[in-house]
Chain A
């Protein structure tokens, strides 16, 4: 059973003063799964992912990745994961090729392997022409691609992606999805957060719906949605707010 679990989270909690951002999140991510975390804005998805990936210290709870307690063995845990965070803090004054190379070297890959994988990732991501441009000059989509490349260089066991397809054009999004599918087919586990239900429905086989800092539904996607669309399930779970159109009465009165 333990071998089948890639990520195990229990009782995760984080508060900023009186505001509780994450309030007892429990998650089990099966190994080799494509796991989607969905939730409205401010639900606690990003905060949870940051705590799980060792970027934000939780107030309470335990996190295990590949059987390793993250906050007790931070370095070992980070060696087994790749992260694509929401705020991409990259070395802006390196070129794309240099960024990949130095990330690989800082992840302790040897010189030859670092150079080889850099070239291969650039080719796979279709970034050969941008390889010598500074990261600061990249578009948002290109930044996401290079950051994903940097996250997979060391062949992580689990890949965490926070809103990977936001601000990305359809062509780049498709390429990112292909890379992720290939990684998953090779036995990797992907955990991604997203607002786009269609994407999660199409890519993921497991899903967790997070609302107000808690997991309100979790499991294989078919079990969670029970024959409905994921969007409807999500709206039912978080309680979609109905707009009272009479409040916007003025919207129907256009100036002549």
Chain B
């Protein structure tokens, strides 16, 4: 009799789990049925994941044939885990998780929300692909040693749980952190540093000695996913004691992560600041001020002096936003943290005598492209205020392009300083820094034109951890246009770099030539941008704004 309320609660909780599962499936179906973009994204994602999971099974099948295949198991399992942690940030718009924030006003216990959202997170394209990959592994290893089948199934379940819980934990922690400016920056720095470190490690691995590889395996064996991979490998060779120890270790880690995650959910649901999403942008005050100044004497008068030219007013305003806007700050940080090591590694490989600005500038484009190719789409909601001042689109584009230059230049500067630190030779530093600034005009000119041709509205308060257009049809199109823009920039920059390489140093003629060429491309890009907007910037602004709604 005393157990009756307990039974009722259990039954209600089971019902809730079913509701969560149906809710997630409904969200998936609605996204696929009602949005062409989501359908395109689902197809692209499914194909990519099918290939990845096939590779996973092939790696496992190959590794189990050799006596020293353990490290490959560890790497395969760890790669799957990292994919689970990284992919959810790219899948916005296709495979939304059930966000605990949306459940905040409902009378649900912390455990119910945790279980429900965990079940929801286990439904989708990525989980389905993971199950297929893990089933492939179970069958492969089961055929090799039928006695280990039960244990391998446990490992597969453990890996799935590790992936789901780990991914939810990271997403919840980063989402909560991203509510404050410092937390957001810390999150960006952490995420970028980790991914940058992993990328550097992958680049360095082929060059590493056998001993270094063995050391990496030893380290991976102590990570949860690596330990699971080795547990599966050990079980196949009937080393069950060792395999059990590894599995228990992972179980403890999963439980700790689950506990931490539920605690984060509770904090997240009771710490959302009011008005966090409804701050009024104050960005156009400078332009408005200029507009007022125009009428300050009762007659419209022309403001004299270059500093008050509309281009520089836009530059001053945009530079403020470069630091204040979450999206742009994140891009700048990612550019420096990811771009700089990339450039540094290439320079070490080239083993060039001088600093490699030749390699640095175009590579830096990769990281600043999100801003320099989208000059009108960022903070688009108040674009109409600027256009309402009567500013020419050419001036607006030029101002925004100049203000975007730090996103292209900063990674090069960081790389140049790192190179100097590594090599202890600073002779080419100043010309290199100057060249990076001057060369930026070329990609910015190309970007100005692209910004008019393919404007891509991004909400100014959008999460730096979410990419709503990744893997969608539109996202693919934008990616293609950006790639073409990048190639055009590289082609346009090539004469300058060829000249610098021929002369063997970055000297004055190179710098002057670069400045002139860069200026021509920048002015041409903004001029063409105005021409292509059909001299109707209002219509262009409306197109961009409609994309934000």
Contacts and interface: CB of A to CB of B under 8 A. Distances in A.
B107 A253 contact: no
B535 interface: no
Given A47-B274, A55-B272, A102-B19, A91 B102 contact: yes
A94 B277 contact: no
A46 B105 contact: no
A87 B270 contact: no
A108 B12 contact: yes
A167 to B, nearest CB: 11
Interface in A81-99: 81, 83, 85-87, 89-91, 93-95, 98
Interface string A238-256: 0000000000001001111
A75 B107 contact: yes
A93 B34 CA distance: 9
B295 A78 contact: no
B107 A76 contact: yes
Contacts of A79: 107
Contact of B275 (A46, A55, A81, A108): A46
B298 to A, nearest CB: 3
Interface string B14-42: 01100100110011001100100000000
A250 B22 CA distance: 62
B351 interface: no
Contact of B34 (A56, A105, A134, A250): A134
B355 to A, nearest CB: 43
Interface in B436-456: none
Given A50-B274, A93-B27, A107 B107 contact: yes
B273 A93 contact: no
B292 A55 contact: no
Nearest to B28: A93
A36 B493 CA distance: 64
B21 to A, nearest CB: 11
B278 A89 contact: no
Contact of B299 (A107, A151, A255): A255
A75 B108 contact: yes
Contacts of A93: 27, 30-31, 34, 96
B27 A94 contact: yes
Contacts of A98: 26, 30
A55 B105 contact: yes
Contact of A53 (B12, B34, B105, B278): B105
B107 A102 contact: no
A194 B391 CA distance: 38
A86 B277 CA distance: 10
A79 B105 CA distance: 9
A191 B309 CA distance: 52
Interface in B267-318: 269-278, 292, 294-300
Given A87-B278, A134-B30, A255-B300, A57 B106 contact: no
A55 B276 contact: no
A75 B278 contact: no
A190 interface: no
B101 interface: yes
Contacts, number: 101
A46 B274 contact: yes
B194 interface: no
Nearest to B96: A93
Interface string A129-140: 000001000000
B109 interface: yes
B106 A103 contact: yes
A55 B270 contact: yes
Contacts of B276: 87
Given A103-B106, A106-B103, A255-B299, A56 B292 contact: no
Best-surrounded residue of B15, B16, B103, B106 (most CB of chain A within 10 A): B106
B104 interface: yes
Contacts of A55: 104-105, 269-270, 272
B273 A56 contact: yes
Contacts of B19: 102, 105-106
Contacts of B103: 106
Contacts of B99: 89
A54 interface: yes
A116 to B, nearest CB: 17
Contacts of A54: 105, 270
Nearest to A154: B107
Nearest to A58: B270
Contacts of B278: 86-87
B271 A57 contact: yes
A75 B109 contact: yes
Nearest to A42: B275
Given A55-B272, A56-B274, A250-B296, A89 B23 contact: no
Given A93-B31, A108-B12, A56 B272 contact: yes
A194 B52 CA distance: 54
A253 B295 contact: yes
A151 B105 CA distance: 9
Contact of B274 (A86, A94, A103): A86
Contacts of B269: 55
Interface in B355-405: none
A106 B295 contact: no
A94 B98 CA distance: 12
A157 to B, nearest CB: 12
A134 B34 CA distance: 9
B272 to A, nearest CB: 6
Contacts of A86: 274-275, 278
Contacts of A254: 295, 298
B273 A253 contact: no
Given A54-B270, A250-B295, A102 B102 contact: no
Given A16-B273, A55-B270, A106 B106 contact: yes
Contacts of A57: 270-271
The 4 lowest CB-CB distance pairs between A and B, nearest first, are: A253-B298, A79-B107, A46-B274, A78-B107
Given A76-B107, A106-B19, A250-B298, 5 more contacts: A53-B105, A102-B19, A102-B22, A108-B107, A256-B298
Interface of A: 16, 46-47, 50, 53-57, 75-79, 81, 83, 85-87, 89-91, 93-95, 98, 102-103, 105-108, 134, 151, 250, 253-256
29 contacts: A16-B273, A46-B275, A50-B274, A55-B104, A56-B271, A56-B274, A81-B105, A85-B105, A86-B274, A86-B278, A87-B275, A89-B102, A91-B102, A93-B31, A98-B26, A102-B22, A105-B15, A106-B16, A106-B23, A106-B108, A107-B106, A108-B12, A108-B15, A250-B295, A250-B297, A253-B295, A254-B295, A255-B298, A255-B300
